């Protein structure tokens, strides 16, 4: 059955579906893949969540797994109808509304990083969220696509009055004196970006292991991808959501071959262990998951299918 264009537009207008109706078409028509990838609203119990896109960027396919040959990676990508010359990374930030607080998870890349990123403020405005109303910012880790947006184009810190938090381990690792001289040359820029970003924050609280930061919001360490990478558990009225940052990187690579080790996992062995722990938890307890780099809006269920995993994206019922 084909709907007329007018009927179709009426339909999406009355269901409020405009934000989620086109990513699939967008990816087929264009490599830019940023058509209407702006925001997606849903609730976990009484907690309101808005996924706000910061845009996206491409990485070379060699970044998918440190142990695979290019030929094998291309075969894998072809099997899942993915482009064979790059991997596309969406960046899905979350705004969590609890009582009178608005907590933002990560700040994105800003305008100084690669690709078509730095869309946070445009998309907050499309989602009708006043940037001034952000009271708290939690940083999952200090990689540039999660933190570099902390300085705007005028070098001013965004959300200067918000309360910032990151894990003590993550903060300590990146800000260690002389760190830049202890890493490989290829990694120096990452250290400088992280230090420059963390230093822009007037005051930052640190936590260890696990901490409840707002009613129904608990942050916990999920190290491996970075030294103190952290995730967030949202719980309200019996509903849950895990926001896992980069623990699981991509639905068509990390889930379809959980043995892939992305080249950005700083401790590959620990990252793998953490990934399987989180996968065990969310598949056994049926907890929905938000992946920072999953196809927008990046939220849905993950189910185990023998040795691989399937991602069931959020649908209209959310």
Note the residues at the interface with Zn ion (CB under 5 A): 145, 246
> Shortest gap between Cβ of 65 and Zn ion (angstroms)?
16
Cα 162 to Cα 42, 131, 210, 211, 280, distances in angstroms: 23, 10, 21, 18, 34
Count CB atoms within 10 A of the CB of residue 299: 23
Q: In what order do the strands lie in the sheet with 299-305?
A: 210-214, 217-221, 230-236, 239-243, 289-290, 299-305, 308-313
Least Å distance, CB 52 to Zn ion, is 15
C-beta closer to Zn ion: residue 97 or 113: 113
**Closest separation between CB of residue 91 and Zn ion, Å?**
7
Q: Which is nearer to Zn ion, 47 or 166 (CB)?
A: 166
Q: Which is nearer to Zn ion, 214 or 231 (CB)?
A: 231
| Residue appearing with tokens 């998309």 | 123
Shortest gap between Cβ of 293 and Zn ion (angstroms)? Answer: 6
In whole angstroms, the minimum distance from the beta carbon of 34 to Zn ion comes to: 17
Which uninterrupted H or E stretch holds 167? strand 163-167
Contacts with 78 (C-beta within 8 Å, 6 or more apart), sequence order:
84
2: helix, coil or strand?
coil
Q: Is the Cβ of residue 221 or residue 246 nearer to Zn ion in the bound state?
A: 246
Who contacts 190 (Cβ-Cβ below 8 Å, separation ≥6)? 143, 144, 183
- Give the residue with the Cβ less far from Zn ion, 214 or 254: 254
């Amino acid at each position: 059955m084909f709907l007329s264009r007018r009927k179709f537009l009426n339909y999406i207008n009355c269901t409020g579906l405009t934000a989620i109706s086109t990513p699939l078409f967008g990816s087929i028509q264009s490599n830019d893949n940023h058509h209407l990838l702006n925001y997606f609203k849903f609730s976990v119990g009484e907690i309101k969540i808005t996924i706000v896109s910061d845009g996206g960027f491409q990485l070379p396919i060699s970044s998918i797994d440190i142990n695979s040959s290019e030929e094998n990676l291309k075969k894998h990508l072809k099997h899942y109808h993915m482009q064979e010359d790059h991997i596309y990374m969406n960046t899905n930030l979350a705004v969590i509304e609890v009582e009178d607080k608005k907590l933002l998870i990560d700040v994105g890349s800003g305008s100084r990083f690669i690709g078509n990123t730095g869309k946070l403020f445009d998309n907050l405005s499309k989602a009708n969220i006043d940037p001034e109303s952000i009271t708290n910012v939690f940083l999952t880790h200090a990689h540039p696509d999660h933190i570099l947006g902390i300085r705007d184009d005028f070098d001013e810190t965004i959300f200067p009055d918000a309360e910032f938090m990151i894990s003590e381990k993550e903060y300590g690792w990146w800000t260690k004196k002389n760190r830049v001289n202890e890493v490989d040359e290829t990694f120096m820029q990452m250290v400088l970006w992280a230090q420059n970003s963390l230093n822009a924050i007037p005051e930052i609280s640190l936590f260890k292991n696990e901490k409840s930061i707002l009613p129904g919001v608990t942050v916990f360490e999920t190290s491996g991808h970075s030294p103190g990478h952290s995730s967030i558990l949202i719980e309200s009225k019996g509903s849950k959501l895990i926001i896992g940052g980069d623990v699981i990187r991509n639905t068509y690579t990390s889930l379809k071959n959980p043995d892939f080790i992305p080249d950005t996992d700083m401790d590959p062995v620990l990252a793998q262990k953490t990934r399987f722990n989180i996968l065990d938890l969310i598949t056994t307890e049926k907890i929905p998951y938000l992946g920072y780099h999953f196809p927008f809006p990046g939220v849905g269920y993950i189910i185990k299918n023998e040795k691989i995993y399937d991602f069931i994206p959020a649908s209209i019922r959310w």
